[in-house]
Structure 1
Amino acid sequence: MSLQQLKLERSSASDAYRSAFADHELEVAPGDPKHQIIRATVCNVSAPAQHLRRIVITSPELVGFKLSGPDEFFGLFMPQVASGKLHLPIHTGGANIRASAAAMPDELRPDLRWYTVRSLNPEDGQLTFDVVTHGVNTPSHEGIGPGLRWVLSAQTGDEVAIWTCQGLWHRGQRCQTLIADPSAVPSVRAILEYTQTFAPDQLKDMHVRIIAESPHDLEPLLNPNWEDELGSFDVLFAPSEKFSETTIAHLRGLNYSQHPATQSKYVWIAGEGSLCKQVRRHAISTWKLPSESVQWCPYWFLGKARP
């Protein structure tokens, strides 16, 4: 490939990326967009890491679709039986899709779980999301929930649907700390890619902390891609039941060393429920941030499913 061809390819990729977002500034949190149910089919399944499954879905309704933010989340409707027929609720509007699904007969009701967008290609109508498998390899594994069971059995051509939601993060405060466990790392990477594209100078004032059980939970090249561009970047490792304890101990250590992350004006934390709660408490009580400057979103809860 010639240099000119390479430049054209990169320019085209950049244009496609930019077209995926409704707002290229995000100085304030995204507003609540109009929700809708979009039928889609699985078009690719891969494993970018040993404990990570990547699903790509496609739909004509995703052509031209725009995300409200890089950490956009959505509800995924899945048939109860792998590769089975998907029945969807009749929904008349509003944000309470759970109630509409709960009103369906048991034998028709689809499973509903929540994920975040890893990337969107609005030109091809393809949406990608990642799911941590926690080392589970088979859908028949005892004790796993319907989301992971579906992900482990997903095949090209399977029917799904998404309930469109919204992003939560904004870059209104320049100095930020982002904290995530593996379930939220795709959102962190999407936030960093957004910032790199639309506000690259802000990266040097952003501090990222990842807590995981194993490097196998994380998309490869996480560290080399970002540690030299950010204000600071660390990956911590601990068993999932000690995510909160390990993260808070690390944050306390930042205070002792007067690390610049402790001067953050905005904290974004997503992942396990207790982890989110404890980090929020630390940011408000120790870093003295107002509650509105701490965006926390529990993606899952240790020992129980989030509906």
Structure 2
Amino acid sequence: MAPEIVKSTTGNAAAPVVGPSKHAYVTFLAGAGDYVKGVVGLAKGLRKVGTAFPLVVAILADVPVEHRRILVEQGCVLREIEAAFPCADADQNHAYFVEYERMIYMDADVQVFDNIDDLFELPSGYFYGVVDCVCEMSGDACPQKLRWPQELGPQPPFYLNGGMFVFEPDLTTYHDLIHTLTITPPTPFAEQDFLNMFFREKMKPISPEYNLLVAMLWRHPEAVGVEKAKVVHYCEAGSKPWRFTGEEENMEREDMKMLVSKWWDIYNDASLDFNVAQRLTKGLPLSREAARQVVVHYRSASSAA
């Protein structure tokens, strides 16, 4: 039996933020590689769809100053975190942002094409995500062919993709999560296996349109139509827009080329660059956290000159 999909009962857009936000989007960045382009694209995509909430970027200490400057200038709120081992991805640190009541995590290779602020209004107390297919773990396996690792305990009723999820930061949950992490053996699919195990009693599925994995286009085309996708996850090998060549398997597809082109349209749109004065003048959503961070950044730069 297919899991019951939880649907939002509110409209897409939320009212502009006029004080400290209780909600936020969050992504993760490490190192000096090119994933900073993905974060910039995500920030501009959220701005294009008119979100009322900030984008927090959890960064490791190895993110260079230049990349931090780029993100601040795009209105991102930067939070330096420490890696939680044995999972080098450090996704678990997101639960430490307890000043927010609810956050939506998205990988840096995700793009938003429609407003999804309504997800912040889902019933509290649950961990929400989109049901994944384990095809991506083995290339051709289906759920009935790939067994859940016994060392993780009882199998969840369904398996959520870890590239986008809705959660509620809580210190008690954070400490419990870190403890569980230290006693859990490594698994084939890293943090995604772990999150499914840890939150299996609280997981609720949401519509596939909130996280369309590009591989679904050829593995499960019936799952969701491209035209309905609010969020697209460029997680397949060769699909990262900023590295795209079209030479890898399945990348020659017209629907893939179209999605990559849509990502670049947003990334290259200078009108979507963060500008405090313009957004205030036009009455557009602006998080106080993002505006304050830009001011602090430039004051610090000026005083150091």
- Give me the TM-score of the superposition, normalised by structure 2: 0.29
- Give me the TM-score of the superposition, normalised by structure 1: 0.29
Point out the structure with the larger strand share: 1
